[in-house]
Structure 1
Amino acid sequence: MGTVANQVIIENKKVLFDYEVIEEFEAGIVLMGSEVKSVRNGSANLKGAYITLHSGRPVLVGSHISEYKGSTGVIIDPKRERLILMSKKEILRIGQKVKETSATLVPVSIYSKGNIFKIRVALAKGRKKWEKKNLLKERDLDRESRKIY
């Protein structure tokens, strides 16, 4: 049997600009019914979302998964909190790092791995406004230096 490639469906492109990524993790995400088809269609948004620990369980807060147009079943709140699936050992390790470094857990992307949806989570520190400006200046200088006249 051949291997199934990971297909990125939703990506949070602002994460790399707004945050300095320290470490990345792979986790599962709990989706209900029609949310699966909505994510597969790309009708989800991770902008402004973050992950917090509620009673020792990681939860995705601030994401938006639109209602699937063809669904006739139960209507699910598009902004509801979604449970993130990780091993207990990994949760404890991440929780400790968040407390030590005062970092944030942010979702980077949602992708399918076979028939299962996974979420890439980053332990990241927020960048200040001046750091973002310096980053843009550095990128512009790199582009200018790579130009061939």
Structure 2
Amino acid sequence: MAKDRNAYKLIANNKKAYHDYFIDETFEAGIVLVGTEVKSIRAGSGSVKESFIKIDNGEAFLYNMHINPYEKGNIFNKEPLRTRKLLLHKKEITKLVGAVSTKGMTIVPLKIYIKGSLVKVEVGLARGKKLHDKRHDIASKDVRRQNEREFKIKNL
């Protein structure tokens, strides 16, 4: 039985990023990890909620991504909040640097997932939302939910 090449297992999702930012463009990036970190992620423990991405000297780094220490890792475990390098193409990095230099743009991690045997991070190029934008999004979600409820009741 052949596996689908586009299939992936979601480990962590950054819902806060979708609430606080407009995501203009997304990139798929590899991440440099140690063996025990990979085992811990495969077990499903990782978080990108408070993490952010900076580009230093033409390389992208992920800060504050939390990976729980692997239970059986003992001395091989690394610090849970250490800085990790992201693997992106040079063209993607230059595109991100150019976009971040404009006002109000930032780079945020959106999700961590396992694709095949590799751990990947979805990186988003984002613009900050204002308070009225957030309120508008919440109101539109409420309207959508209400319509779904009415449709469900009507079709019973």
Checking the alignment, whether the CA contact within 8 Å between 2:11 and 2:112 is kept in structure 1 is: yes
2:81 aligned partner? 79
The C-alpha deviation readout for 1:88-143, integer Å capped at 9, x for no partner, is 12111111011124311111111112111111100011212332122111211222
- TM-score, normalisation: structure 2: 0.87
Checking the alignment, whether the CA contact within 8 Å between 2:12 and 2:46 is kept in structure 1 is: yes
1:15 aligned partner? 17
1:41 aligned partner? 43
Q: Which runs of 5+ in 1 are unaligned?
A: none
RMSD (Å), alpha carbons: 1.6
| Larger Rg over CA atoms | 2
> Partners in 2 of 1:145 and 1:6 — Cα distance?
31
Identify which of 104, 107, 112 aligns with 2:106. 104
Checking the alignment, whether the CA contact within 8 Å between 1:10 and 1:39 is kept in structure 2 is: no
Q: 1:128 to 1:102 in 2, by over 3 A?
A: closer
Identify which of 67, 70, 91 aligns with 2:69. 67
Q: Secondary structure at the match of 1:134?
A: helix
Checking the alignment, whether the CA contact within 8 Å between 2:37 and 2:77 is kept in structure 1 is: no
User: Which residue type is aligned with residue 36 of structure 1?
Assistant: V
The C-alpha deviation readout for 1:18-42, integer Å capped at 9, x for no partner, is 2110000011001112110111112
Q: Secondary structure at the match of 1:8?
A: strand
Checking the alignment, whether the CA contact within 8 Å between 2:52 and 2:64 is kept in structure 1 is: yes
Checking the alignment, whether the CA contact within 8 Å between 1:59 and 1:84 is kept in structure 2 is: yes
Which of 20-29 and 4-13 deviates more? 4-13
1:93 aligned partner? 95
> Partners in 1 of 2:105 and 2:44 — Cα distance?
28
Q: Which runs of 5+ in 2 are unaligned?
A: none
User: Which residue type is aligned with residue 117 of structure 2?
Assistant: N
What is the percentage of aligned positions where both structures have the same residue? 38
2:115 equivalent to 1:113: yes
Number of residue pairs matched by the alignment = 149
1:125 aligned partner? 127
User: Which residue type is aligned with residue 19 of structure 2?
Assistant: F
1:138 aligned partner? 140
The C-alpha deviation readout for 1:32-82, integer Å capped at 9, x for no partner, is 121101111121110021111112210001211110111123231111110
> Partners in 1 of 2:20 and 2:99 — Cα distance?
19
4+ residue segments displaced more than 6 Å:
none
